[in-house]
Amino acid sequence: MVALGCAAALSCLGGCATSPREAGAEGGTATQAENGDRAKPVIDPQADELMRRMCDYLAQAQTFSVTAEVWQDVQLDSGQQVQAGRTVDLQVRRPNRFHAEVHSTRHSRGLYYDGTSITLLDRVHNLYGTVPAPATLDDALDVASERFGITLPLEDIIVSDPYQSGMGKVTSGILLGPVTVLGVACEHLAFSLGTVDWQLWIEQGARPVPRKIVITYKDEEGTPEYAAILSNWDFQTTLPDNLFTFEPPAGTLMINVAEIKSENQARKNGVK
Amino acid sequence: MKHANTTFIKSFGFSLLVLLAALPVSYADRGQHAGRGEHTSRGGKATRVQSLRAPSLRAPAQRGSALVNRSIHGTIRHVDTHAFARPLSVGRDAYVQQRVITHHDVEVDVNRSRYWHGFVFGARHHALRSGYVRILVNNSPYFYDDGIYYQQTGDYYQEVYPPLGANIVQLPDGAVEVFSGNIPYYYAAGAFYMQQNGGFIITSPPMGVTVTELPPGALQVSIGAGMAYQFNGIHYRPVFANGVTQYMTFMP
C-alpha cells in the first residue's frame, strides 16, 4: 500500500505539477504552434490583469504628457550593431489632439494633430507638410501609418483603447515580477507576437503607467530592439488648443507629404 | 482476498504506468526551463510563470522564416504595416559580397560618414589615395575611388560628376537600394547604379524615386514657386516620406 501511495504521489508530482488551467494552456500552445494559427493566446492572467489596468488608466486619461528616451538598435554596413537615441516629448488630449517633439543630434521634428489634419515639421531643414486626417485619434493614427508611413511616436499608449490595440496580436504573455526602472518600482511583463517580442515595465501602485517599453524584432537580421524609457508623466496640466494647432514658423517652406500606400502594397507582393 | 490482491496489482500497475508516463514529462519540463529558472529568485511565482511559458515562442524566427525589414520601429499597432521581405542576396561586390543598405529606419539618427560625402565638384588633388581604379567611360579615362570620380587635368586629378555609363565592380560604401516600380537601383553620391554583368553601371536616374539624402554639394534651386536641389542635372524635390524629409527625383 505504501508503494501504491508513493506511486500515486509520484505520478501526481509528475503529471499533476501543472494545474489544469496551466495544462490546458500548455496544450493549447502546442496545438496553436502546430496549427500555425493565433486562435488562442497563452497569457498569464496576472500579466493580462496588469496590462488591462495600465491600458484602462491610459484610456481614461483625458489629457497627459510624457517624455520618452528612445534607444534603437541599428546595424552599420559592417554588420556591427549600435544604438541610436532620440527623445520624444508627447502631449495627448483625447479624443482628437496630439503633439510630439522628436529630437536627436541631427534631427528635430514636430508632429501635430488637431482633429482635422496632421502636420510634420522638420526644424532642421525648415520644412513642413500637412495632410488631412480623420476626426479621431485612432483613425488618424491608422491613416498616418498606412497611407503616409508616418508612425506617431508611442502610438500604442495613445490610442483610445490601448489594450485592444496592442493585445489583439499577442500570442503569449507572462509576468516576470517586480523590477525597478530609474528608481521606480515596476512590474515587468513580457508578451510575444510570434516573431516580435514586446516587454513593458508598469509602475506599481495607484498610477499604473508604462515606465519602459522594449520591442524586439526577431524576424529582422540581428534581432534589433526598440527601447523607450518613459518619465515625467503628467495627467494634471491643462493642454490648450494652441499646443496642437500648427502655425508655420517664419521662414519655413511647405512641401508635399508622399503617399506610400501603393508603394508599400507593391513591395508587399510576394512577401507574405 | 484473491480479488483484493488482483485489484491491488491492477491499481499498482496502473499507478506505475502513470508514473512512468509522467516522469519524462516532468523531466522534459525541468530541462526546458532550468536555465531560465536560475535567473529567477522568486521561486513559486517563477515556477508557475515558467510553466505557462509557451515552449515554441522563438520557433518562428528559429525555423528560418524569411527575414524582413521595417522602415518604422516602435509600434505594435502597426508592427506589420511596413514590413517587407528582405532581399536574399545583395552585394556591393560580386566576389566579396559586402552588403548594400537595403533599408533605412527613417527615425534612426546615426552619423554614417562616407568617403564620398567629401565630394566637391571641381576639387583638385595632386595624388589619389591608394585603391583607386582606372576606368574608361565612352572612351574617356576616369579614375574611380569609392563613389568619387576623377579626371586628370594637367598635373591634377579633378573631382567630376559621376559619368553616365561608368561601370564599376563594387558599389560605393553606403549605397542604398531604391526601387522604381519593381526595378532595383543602387544610389550613392548622386549616382544611380544598376547591376549588370557582375558589375554596376551608372544609368539615367529613375524619376519619382525617393532617396534618404541629397548628393554632397547639391545646389538649392527655385523651380516655379517651389524649392528643389540639383546635382549633375538631376533634380530632387524634398518631400516627407515615411514621416521624415527625403528627396524625390523629378523632371522640372
Q: What is the 3-state secondary structure (H, E, C) of B140-165?
A: EEEEEECCEEEEEECCEEEEECCCCC
Domain membership of residue A15 (yes or no) is: no
Domain membership of residue A24 (yes or no) is: no
Please check whether residue A211 touches B, CB under 8 A: no
B109/A146 touch (CB, cutoff 8 Å), yes or no: no
Nearest to B243 among A120, A141, A266 (CB): A120
Domain membership of residue A6 (yes or no) is: no
pLDDT, mean of residues A203-214: 98
In this model, does residue A61 exceed pLDDT 50? yes
Q: Which residues of B touch A226 (CB under 8 A)?
A: 73-74
Query: Would you tell me how many other CB atoms lie within 10 Å of the CB of residue A175?
Result: 24
Nearest to A127 among B75, B107, B238 (CB): B238
Task: Give the cell for residue A255.
Answer: 512641401
A219/B68 touch (CB, cutoff 8 Å), yes or no: yes
Q: How far apart are CA A112 and CA A98, in angstroms?
A: 6
- The set of residues, in sequence order, having a beta carbon less than 8 Å from that of B97 and lying 6+ positions away, is B89, B91
Band the pLDDT of A39: cuts 50, 70, 90: low
- The set of residues, in sequence order, having a beta carbon less than 8 Å from that of B168 and lying 6+ positions away, is B133, B135, B144, B193, B199, B200, B201
Q: Which residues 119-178 of A are in CB contact (within 8 Å) with B?
A: 120, 122, 124-125, 127, 129, 141-142, 144-146, 148-151, 153-156, 159, 165-166, 169, 171-172, 174-177
If 0-12 CB within 10 Å is exposed, 13-18 middle and 19+ buried, where does residue B67 land? middle
Task: Give the cell for residue A131.
Answer: 495632410
> Count of domains in chain A?
1
Task: Give the cell for residue B132.
Answer: 583607386
Q: How far apart are CA B130 and CA A160, in angstroms?
A: 60
Q: How far apart are CA A74 and CA A82, in angstroms?
A: 5
Average pLDDT, chain A: 85
Domain membership of residue A266 (yes or no) is: no
A151/B75 touch (CB, cutoff 8 Å), yes or no: yes
CATH number, position A168:
2.50.20.10
Nearest to A17 among B26, B179, B182 (CB): B26
Q: What is the pLDDT along chain B (252 residues), one digit of tens a residue?
A: 445 454 544 555 555 444 444 444 333 333 333 333 333 333 333 323 233 323 332 233 333 456 777 877 889 998 888 777 655 445 555 444 455 555 556 677 887 789 999 999 999 999 999 999 999 999 999 999 999 999 999 999 999 999 999 999 999 988 988 889 889 999 999 999 999 888 999 999 999 999 989 999 999 999 887 899 999 999 999 999 988 999 999 998
In this model, does residue A67 exceed pLDDT 80? yes
Nearest to B15 among A4, A122, A193 (CB): A4
Q: What's at B11, amino acid-wise?
A: S
Number of Cβ pairs closer than 8 Å across A and B?
A: 254
If 0-12 CB within 10 Å is exposed, 13-18 middle and 19+ buried, where does residue B88 land? exposed
Domain membership of residue A31 (yes or no) is: no
pLDDT score at A222: 86
Supply the DSSP symbol for A242.
G
Domain membership of residue A23 (yes or no) is: no
On whether the CB atoms of residues A202 and A208 are closer than 8 A, the answer is yes
Domain membership of residue A25 (yes or no) is: no
B245/A127 touch (CB, cutoff 8 Å), yes or no: yes
Please check whether residue A15 touches B, CB under 8 A: yes
A15/B237 touch (CB, cutoff 8 Å), yes or no: no
Nearest to A166 among B45, B66, B77 (CB): B77
Q: Which residues of B touch A260 (CB under 8 A)?
A: 241-242
pLDDT score at B103: 53
In this model, does residue A27 exceed pLDDT 50? no
A215/B109 touch (CB, cutoff 8 Å), yes or no: no
Cis peptide before B216 (omega within 30 of 0): no
Torsion of CA B126, B129, B131, B132, to 10 degrees: -40
Supply the DSSP symbol for B88.
S
Q: How far apart are CA A6 and CA A20, in angstroms?
A: 22
Please check whether residue A49 touches B, CB under 8 A: no
- pLDDT digits 0-9 by tens, A40-60: 789 999 999 999 999 999 999
A264/B82 touch (CB, cutoff 8 Å), yes or no: yes
pLDDT, mean of residues A184-191: 98
Q: How far apart are CA A178 and CA A58, in angstroms?
A: 21
A172/B21 touch (CB, cutoff 8 Å), yes or no: no
Q: Of B100, B246, B247, B109, whose CA–CA distance to B172 is shortest?
A: B100
Nearest to A219 among B22, B59, B61 (CB): B61
Q: Which residues of B touch A120 (CB under 8 A)?
A: 240, 243
Residue with cell 541629397: B214
A72: containing domain: 42-258
Alpha-carbon gap: B59 to the closest alpha carbon of chain A (Å): 8
B42/A33 touch (CB, cutoff 8 Å), yes or no: no
- Which has the minimum average pLDDT: A109-123, A256-270, B222-236? A256-270
Alpha-carbon gap: A68 to the closest alpha carbon of chain B (Å): 12
In this model, does residue A180 exceed pLDDT 70? yes
A215/B78 touch (CB, cutoff 8 Å), yes or no: no
pLDDT score at A182: 96
Task: Give the cell for residue A259.
Answer: 503617399
Domain membership of residue A19 (yes or no) is: no
A109/B244 touch (CB, cutoff 8 Å), yes or no: yes
**Residues pairing with A97 in the sheet:** A93
B98/A175 touch (CB, cutoff 8 Å), yes or no: no
Q: Which residues of A touch B71 (CB under 8 A)?
A: 149
For residue A175, the chain B residue with the least C-alpha distance is B49
Q: How far apart are CA B167 and CA B151, in angstroms?
A: 15
